[in-house]
Structure 1
Amino acid sequence: MPGLPPTAAPPDGLVDGPFTATDAAKAVGTVLEQVLEERLRHSRAVDPVFARELAGRLVTLAGRGGKRLRTAFAHCGWRAAGGSGDATAVLRTGAALELLQACALVHDDVMDGSVQRRGAPALHVELARGHWAAAMRGSAESFGTSAAVLAGDLALAWADDLLTETALGTRHGRRLHEEWRAMRTEMVAGQYRDLYAQAARSSGVEEALSIATLKSALYTVARPLALGAALAGADEHVLDALRAAGRCTGLAFQLRDDLLGAFGDPALTGKPVDDDLRSRKLTFLLAVAVQLADAAGDHQAAAALAPDADPTSEKAVQQVRSALQRTGARDLVEAKIGELTDMSLAHFDRVGASPAVRHEFAALAGRAAGMTPHGEEGAA
């Protein structure tokens, strides 16, 4: 495949010894950079304004960072299913996952009205500011929103192109594409359920878990594990065990992100705190707090968390945060994260992977769930 590394070996002698999931998360940056350079060259040939104003900004966002956890889990799934040797297809699949993540972030920021991402202005904000600078003030916000939707669509197109090219180059491409196709639909379904719950002012615990599973758990961990395993020709037993393990770790990941959204440090997470609280987004944390407040007869907490509450002022936000703490919801979610992580490890043991791969997965699961020291990280 032109322009891409011929083997899984890390660029420039990145590591000595076995190539691990952590190494894959580092190496995918080089593959992604090469893919983005190629896509940007093509964009310039299509139209220079489009390339400069939209494609270039998308390239900057996609290359700006993130934890590359999806790539790490894809590589771990590949190894768990017996994959070894040349992992180029895994790295390309990881790069496609990173582009899909860029699509999700851009669209999510538009829908949530978030102003910051990865320590920089959200893409729709940056695009609106550029339009504002062009003295077309009346339509700046609308322009930024519309252009960001197109940028997200472009990221999805690039992700699909890369995944399709990769699938065509491997004998297990059909199974790889089946996992990818399912993941895309689940991701959109989760995003819609998230919007629907906000519009309906929902507070149900089961609904919150369903949204977290669709919107984050499956596409962050469960499907990446299965994508990697598919590249190794995994049978259905292995795939089922990996999906179950990934669902548990992915839920723990999202619950940690919910906690960071309420109690985290923006300097470490790279995005504003309080956005979920101000919009009353239905999270497991919120749903549990509502349930606990009602059970305890804590009318003050119930009022702060009620569907008709309007936590837009700083005082109201502090009341919501206090209610999450006082009801015991924060502690309950912490305990749930630990429980899900333990369940995930038990499911992964059913795969029959080597001790080294089991250890690797345990480390990744702990990092995703925030159970190991790695700084405060959000879901980006």
Structure 2
Amino acid sequence: MGLTPFITAVPMPAPSVEQAWLQLVQARVEASLVELLELPDEARLDSRWTQALGHVREYVLRPTRRMRPALLLAGYCLARGSAAVPAGLWRFAAGLELLNAFHCIHDDAVEQTVLRRGGLTLHHVLAPAPTGQHLSVVVGDHLFARAMETLLSSGLPGAAQASEHYLRLCRYTSVGRYVDLEQGGARLGRGGVVQALRLARMKMVREGLAPALVCGAMLAGADGALRMRLARVGCGVGLASELREELLGLFGEPRGGARAPGCDFLVGRRTFPVAAAWSRAVPEVRRELEALWALPAERRDEAALGRLRRLVEEAGGRSATEHLVARASHGAVRALSELPNPNGLRELLQALIGQLAHRMV
């Protein structure tokens, strides 16, 4: 039978297995999110909050692939050896999405981002700056609390342990986020490649891909050995995805995705492609890269971004990043080959890894 129960549940003109999986996950998780954000106990608290909660629902339900829930369910089913999914797992998966929304809202407020998933960021929707930023931080805190309620009330054996694992890793990556923000606008220089790769590794966990895979196995009662092997898979997936995001943040085109092209340059974030380009460049190119990086925010326009792109491309920063993306994804596939393959779930995971690592820029 394989994954037939999943595939037949999705209306489709013959999609691939991973597309069918993602379509089902999107539909079921978004239905859970709608339910979780109804909150009748808050309906009469204040009319202004009722209006704000409508904006929050729109923000959380914007189209996205829901890759964290997809990996959570894949980890669960692979560890369980069955494609059957308990109702509480959909609720737990939706809780992870609420937790991710909390992270995104706070990140957008900190970085004064304008767009997220094809629409205005929540602080722009709620009110003009700085009031909108302040309000969005409070909304993010609300979503964090709702996420915790959701994870712990899923009714799954091991929900508390899996939540603790996920939150511990979120806590660790806050350190990476702090360093990333604290060094904003830092000059390019020696040691930048090592630091940029270290930060990419820390930020990848914040994205929740590796923890979601392991949490799924934990909820299925997997032993420590299987969880460790899935963690290796997840770390490879996460690093490949984060480095791909950094390429999208420099070379991507506007497509309604999570990140706007050039966003990292605009805020002075020294990502791996730029650091790798500096380390490989001849002295005159290094000086030009440094001059671009020293520009004040108001002068980081399209012309400056275009010049930065050309320099990073010509100095080998893009190819070096692509090489690391390939190496990380291949490492994930190698680790995956050691896992069991009930109902073709290992092939499903490999296809999901490919989708994350090979998005076009």
TM-score by length of 1: 0.83
Partner Cα separation in structure 2 for residue 262 and residue 86 of structure 1: 39
- 2:285 matched to 1:300? yes
What aligned pairs does 1:106-255 form with structure 2 within 5 A after superposition?
106-128=105-127, 140-166=128-154, 169-198=155-184, 200-201=186-187, 204-217=192-205, 219-255=207-243
Q: Distance in 2 between matches of 1:365 and 1:268?
A: 22
1:99-110 matches, within 5 Å, as: 99-110=98-109
Does 2:13 correspond to 1:14?
no
Does the 8 Å CA contact 1:106/1:123 hold for their aligned counterparts? yes
What TM-score do you get using the length of structure 2 for normalisation?
Answer: 0.87
Separation in structure 1 between the aligned mates of residue 209 and residue 163 of structure 2, nearest angstrom: 17
CA-CA distance at 1:285 after TM superposition:
1.2
CA distance change for structure 1 residues 83 and 153 in 2, over 3 Å: closer, same or farther?
farther
Cα deviation digits, residues 293-346 of structure 1 (max 9, x gap):
2xxx24134422465344613322222111111101111211211111110011
The letter for the 2-side match of 1:33 is: V
Structure 1: which amino acid aligns with 2:294? D
Quick check: 2:81–2:342 contact (8 Å CA) kept in 1? no
SS of aligned partner of 1:267? coil
Query: Counterpart of 1:345 in structure 2: which amino acid?
Result: V
Paired position in structure 2 for 1:366:
354
Tell me the residue number matched to 2:275.
287
Q: Give 1:207's aligned amino acid.
A: Q
**1:272 paired to 2:260:** yes
AA in 2 matched with 1:253: S
Aligned-pair identity in percent equals 27
CA distance in 1, matches of 2:164, 2:236: 21
2:250 to 252, 262, 278: 262
- Structure 1 spans left out of the alignment, 5+ residues: 1-8, 129-139
CA RMSD across the alignment = 2.6
Look up the SS of the partner of 2:184 in the other structure: helix
State how far apart, in whole Å, the 2-side matches of 1:75 and 1:320 are.
Answer: 40
Q: CA deviation at 1:94?
A: 1.2
Deviation at 1:250? Answer: 0.7
| 1:185-210 residue CA offsets vs partner (Å, 9 max, x unmatched) | 13422321221231544652222222
Say which is worse superposed, 212-221 or 273-282, in terms of deviation: 212-221
Which of residues 63, 66, 71 in structure 2 aligns to 1:65?
Answer: 63
**Greater alpha carbon shift after TM alignment, 304-313 vs 174-183:** 304-313
Kept in 2: contact 1:274–1:317 (CA 8 A): yes
Say whether the 8 Å CA contact 2:246–2:273 is kept in structure 1.
Answer: yes
Structure 2: any 5+ residue segments left out of the alignment?
none
Distance 2:206 2:21 in 1: 19
2:318 to 305, 330, 338: 330
